Amino acid sequence: MSYTPTEMMTIAAARAIRNDDVCFVGIGMPSAACNLARLTHAPGVTLIYESGTIGTKPDVLPLSIGDGELCDTSVTTVSVPEMFRYWLQGGRISVGFLGAAQLDKFGNINTTVVGGDYHNPKVRLPGGGGAPEIATSCGEIFIVMKQTNRGFVENIDFITSLGHGKTGKEREELGVKTKGPSRLTTDLCIFETDPATKEFIVTSIHPGVTREQIQENTGWTVRFADQVIETPEPTAIELDALRALNERTAKAHAGK
């Protein structure tokens, strides 16, 4: 079956979710990946959104954390303070699934400002929301985003959400006990965190993609694992489930 790079990215990201995960889900691509996992190989996953919805099973992808679809299909909805203090900071969430505007090789995320300084940036972004707390309090962090030189940079303009710091050592030095970014899925490949240096290294390349393409779309010098595999192509079941989800979503949000 033919598929797009975005479909490959979403499906590859979804495969990282385990059936027994409790997952804090970001809006956008992370939401698509997590719900695809729920609809395919991980029906038992518990999806949690920042608005306080627990065990939600949306039929369509939400426009925002305030989308009524999340509350309507959840097991329960708690207050935002309870969500963060009891569930997140209490260590009850195994995976945080996030996106980014800018990312560096140590998994630090910028969703605040790009270019210039904080007070006079070229672009001011939406900000962190709950992502800074998610990045430090979930058991581990998965990231999904399209790979470009603009997004994958040597030095991000602002650290909104902590990865492993500017040298790979700051997370531990700050006393943060959680694992941090462990997996990054793009439309070209999959990166995983080197246990020693804490920087992302390529462990799997999507079909038809070259190492040269990966480097051309990355602002730092890419490291490749000693053994790099080819990412398995999407199955018919995965593609059918993703396309049906996107079709339902498009119809539900038409005109909004």
Q: At what angle do helices 5-14 and 29-39 cross, to 10 degrees?
A: 60
Cα 134 from Cα 25, distance rounded (Å): 9
Closest CA relative to residue 121, chosen from 106, 111, 131: 111
50 contact partners, CB below 8 Å, separation of at least 6 = 24, 65, 80, 83, 129, 130
Closest CA relative to residue 177, chosen from 81, 91, 62, 61: 91
Exposure of 126 in the CB half-sphere (CA atoms within 13 A) = 9
Burial class from Cβ neighbours inside 10 Å (0-12, 13-18, 19+) for residue 149 reads: exposed
Closest CA relative to residue 222, chosen from 67, 105, 116: 105
Q: Which of the following is catalytic: 7, 50, 199, 238?
A: 50
Strand pairing class (109-110; 113-116): unpaired
Cα 224 from Cα 187, distance rounded (Å): 16
Q: State both tokens at 73.
A: 């299909």
Mark whether 50 is an active-site residue. yes
Which residue numbers are catalytic? 50
